[in-house]
């Protein structure tokens, strides 16, 4: 029996470094939306990318979120423990092996009549003989094929709190990554599969995240539908940007909580987050909870100014 119960919201960072102001603001927003609607609120550590993730980073991120005053319903879910669930989901989907290298995909995607950013379906309709040949060639190169979803819809529509009805393309997304045999990990699960399976497992029905991820929502919602999951409710919120309107990054100065705490207190940082949400003068997340009005949130990116 699952330890999780819905309805729920979640925050799901990748433990590849300390969270910056933009990450923290989105975490606070996810917490606010969940708590204001009476939902559970879960923390999920999305650490399937073993090359970029670390236990130390996960620990530091959790400490920083708790330092802000955010609380989570137990338990914390770690994706590195979820391989069996991803394998079970993969077995239920219509899939095919993809033998393309990154270079193959780049070249095919630049061909005429190919939609930018979409996989052109190079390996989708190969014959069994062609697959056997490509599989053999790949083995000689010491490589494993990727596994892709065979999508049966060209587009899908989701409902977003701020963006309304949003329709976008559905791709034959990668569900399990390929790569070199000598570097393959037991996991190698792709984000698109893991995030959908875990949201379903945790009873998450409210997904709050940066609006740069809105274009990926239709394909993930379609995948959820194929797995028999209840449709998700999306809330894509504006990002924090630095100089030149670019997404906030380390180049913009002291942007992580630990860097900011060298110059100010936690209450000051929370106050900065509150001000960005239209709750100026508030210095605690519980205070923001009492004042935050989702309908009044500006949909323009929040400009970061180092103080």
| In the chain, where the domains are located | 8-81+238-303, 87-183
Task: Please give the pLDDT value at position 187.
Answer: 59
Task: Please give the pLDDT value at position 24.
Answer: 97
The fold for domain 8-81+238-303 equals Rossmann fold (3.40.50)
What is the CATH number that goes with domain 87-183? 3.90.800.10
Task: Please give the pLDDT value at position 103.
Answer: 80
Q: What phi and psi, each to the nearest 5 degrees, are found at residue 165?
A: -75, 120
Task: Please give the pLDDT value at position 305.
Answer: 81
Task: Please give the pLDDT value at position 13.
Answer: 96
Q: Phi-psi bin for 113: left (phi > 0), alpha (psi -120 to 50), beta?
A: left
Q: pLDDT, tens digit, for every residue of 157-179?
A: 999 999 999 999 999 999 999 87
Task: Please give the pLDDT value at position 110.
Answer: 61
Task: Please give the pLDDT value at position 306.
Answer: 66
Model pTM score: 0.93
Query: CB-based contacts of 166: which residues, under 8 Å, 6+ apart?
Result: 157, 158, 159, 160, 214, 217, 218, 234
164 forms bridges with which residues in the sheet? 160
Task: Please give the pLDDT value at position 112.
Answer: 58
Q: What is the dihedral of CA 150, 199, 237, 49, to 10 degrees?
A: -70
For 300, half-sphere exposure in the C-beta direction (CA atoms, 13 angstrom radius) is 6
Q: What percent of the chain lies above the pLDDT cut of 70? A: 93
User: Which segments of the chain have a pLDDT < 70?
Assistant: 1, 108-116, 182-187, 254, 306-307
């Amino acid at each position: 029996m699952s330890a999780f119960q819905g309805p729920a919201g979640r925050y799901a960072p990748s433990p590849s470094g300390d969270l910056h102001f933009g990450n923290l603001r989105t975490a606070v927003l996810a917490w606010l939306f969940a708590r204001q609607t009476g939902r559970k609120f879960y923390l999920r550590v999305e650490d399937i990318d073993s090359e970029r993730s670390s236990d130390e980073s996960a620990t530091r991120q959790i400490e920083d979120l708790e330092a802000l005053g955010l609380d989570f319903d137990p338990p914390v879910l770690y994706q590195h423990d979820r391989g069996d669930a991803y394998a079970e989901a993969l077995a239920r989907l219509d899939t095919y092996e993809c033998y393309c290298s990154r270079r193959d995909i780049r070249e095919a995607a630049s061909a005429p009549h190919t939609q930018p950013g979409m996989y052109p379906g190079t390996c989708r309709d190969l014959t069994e003989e062609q697959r056997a040949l490509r599989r053999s060639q790949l083995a000689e190169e010491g490589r494993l094929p990727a596994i892709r979803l065979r999508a049966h819809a060209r587009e899908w529509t989701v409902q977003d709190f701020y963006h309304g009805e949003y329709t976008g393309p559905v791709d034959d997304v990668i569900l399990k990554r390929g790569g070199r045999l000598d570097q393959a990990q037991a996991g190698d699960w792709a984000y698109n599969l893991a995030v959908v399976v875990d949201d379903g497992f945790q009873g998450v029905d409210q997904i709050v995240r940066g609006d740069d991820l809105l274009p990926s929502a239709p394909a993930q919602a379609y995948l959820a539908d194929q797995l028999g999951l209840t449709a998700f409710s999306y809330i894509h919120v504006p990002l924090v940007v630095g100089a030149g309107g670019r997404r906030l990054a380390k180049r913009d100065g002291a942007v992580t909580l630990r860097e900011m705490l060298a110059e100010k207190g936690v209450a000051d940082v929370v106050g900065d987050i509150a001000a960005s949400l239209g709750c100026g003068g508030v210095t605690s997340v519980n205070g923001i909870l009492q004042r935050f009005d989702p309908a009044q949130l500006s949909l323009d990116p929040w400009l970061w100014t180092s103080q």
